[in-house]
Amino acid sequence: MATRERPLSPHLQVYRWQITMTMSILHRATGIALVAGAFGFAWWLVMLSRGGESADTAMRCVGSPLGLLLTAGFSLSLMYHLLNGIRHLLWDTGRGYDIPSVYKTGWTVFVLTFVLTAALWFLAMGGV
């Protein structure tokens, strides 16, 4: 019995990147980042509750350049995951499944993530 050459399954190299696949991958990645960030947040709260030198150490860690970068990443992940979750809730109602709406809400989530995270940091840093 002769074996026939079968076509290979499509791979990521075959597909053109689209907003839909990017949003799906980012939703999973931000979920993982939020789990890791929750452990960091819990550590920070425990250190603050101990008071004294422990609280000073926690504040120095969070206030360091790396700490600020990780905190910014956590807040960006939180905002994206929240907004994309709202988008998924909209889909659960049966609305927004047509391709133009999927692309429109995807770009809206992407832009609002940065705008709302910047507004959050502005307010947290003592802005008006």
Assigned token pair, 61: 């860690």
Angle at 31 between CA 71 and CA 92, to 5 degrees: 130
Is 1 within a domain? no
Average predicted confidence (pLDDT) for the chain: 91
Distance CA 107, CA 113 (A): 10
CB 113 within 8 A of CB 79: yes
Distance CA 6, CA 12 (A): 18
Check pLDDT > 90 for residue 57: yes
* pTM score: 0.82
Domain total of the chain:
1
Find the domain containing 85 and state its range. 19-124
Q: What is the mean pLDDT of residues 55-71?
A: 94
Is 9 within a domain? no
Place 123 in a pLDDT band, splitting at 50, 70 and 90. Answer: very high
Is 62 within a domain? yes
Is 25 within a domain? yes
Place 63 in a pLDDT band, splitting at 50, 70 and 90. Answer: very high
Is 114 within a domain? yes
pLDDT digits (tens, 9 = 90+) for 2-27: 677 766 666 666 777 888 889 999 99
CATH number at residue 72: 1.20.1300.10
Is 7 within a domain? no
pLDDT at 16: 78
